[in-house]
Structure 1
Amino acid sequence: MRISVSADENTGVASDVVRLLQEHGHQVTTHGALAQRERTDWAWASEAAARDVADGRSDQAVVCCWTGTGASIAANKVAGVRAALCTDAETARGARVWNDANVLALSLRLTSAAQLDEILRAWFAAVPSPEPTDQANIAHLTQI
């Protein structure tokens, strides 16, 4: 899978996200503080990763900032992106299953290395629900 990853600073689990995704066989594109010659501010870095998803260059993205909140807000401003701020594996699984989220937002401050592995495994193992009510909610998001 092609995954874009952004962070506004290379601290906490930022580089671990890239390493773990590559270890799991994903093709990773980096943005912000994880890339050379890119603006590192959270709004710009998160937008770049989200645009990769919206434009079809990446299948999904992981956006990171100190709290994860700004990264998720910035990513959600991009049409076609459904970013979810997840602090645990069950929330990550639910975001994929019930919301068909395509961008995972993480806090560099709160996410430990152990949590990161659990969150990534849950996120990428989950698939969107085929249930009509779940699909109707996801379709409605596009209309809002």
Structure 2
Amino acid sequence: MRIAVSADERTGVADAVVDELRRRGHDPLVHGALSDDERPDWAWASERAARDVAEGRAEQGVVCCWTGTGASIAANKVAGVRAALCGDARTAEGARRWNDANVLALSLRSTSQAELEEILDAWFAAGPSEDPDDRANIDHLAEI
């Protein structure tokens, strides 16, 4: 799967996200500080990754900044993106299942290597719910 990845600095798990995605057989498209020729700031980097998802160049995205908050805010400004800030595996599973999140936001400050692996395990294991009420919520997002 092609996955757009951005980080505003190469600290914490920034490089580990790319390495872990590759290890799992995915094809990361890197942005921000992970790229040699892009502006690294969180708003610009997260927007680029989110646009990859919204415009079909990537199936999913992972956006990272120090807290993960700014990255998730920027990504969610792009129409069609549902970015979820996840600090643990249960939240990642729920974000995929109930929110049909297509972009994972991570904190570079507080995500350990072990948590990263658990979060990615849960993220990729879960799929969107087919429950009519859950689908109605997702459909409503397009109307907001």
Which TM-score tier does this pair reach, normalised by the shorter chain? over 0.9
Deviation string 1:74-119 (CA, Å, 9 cap, x unpaired) is 0000000000000000000000000000000000001000000000
Aligned to 1:123: 123
1:1-144 equivalent positions in 2, closer than 5 A:
1-144=1-144
Distance in 2 of aligned mates of 1:138 and 1:21: 26
Distance in 1 of aligned mates of 2:8 and 2:127: 28
Alpha carbon RMSD of aligned pairs, Å?
0.3
Distance in 1 of aligned mates of 2:82 and 2:95: 9
Distance in 1 of aligned mates of 2:126 and 2:72: 20
Distance in 1 of aligned mates of 2:27 and 2:20: 11
Gaps of at least 5 residues in structure 2 are none
Instruction: After TM superposition, give the deviation of residue 57 of structure 1 in Å.
Output: 0.1
Instruction: After TM superposition, give the deviation of residue 64 of structure 1 in Å.
Output: 0.1
Instruction: After TM superposition, give the deviation of residue 36 of structure 1 in Å.
Output: 1.1
SS at structure 1 position matched to 2:28? strand
Distance in 2 of aligned mates of 1:124 and 1:16: 17
Distance in 2 of aligned mates of 1:19 and 1:142: 33
SS at structure 2 position matched to 1:106? strand
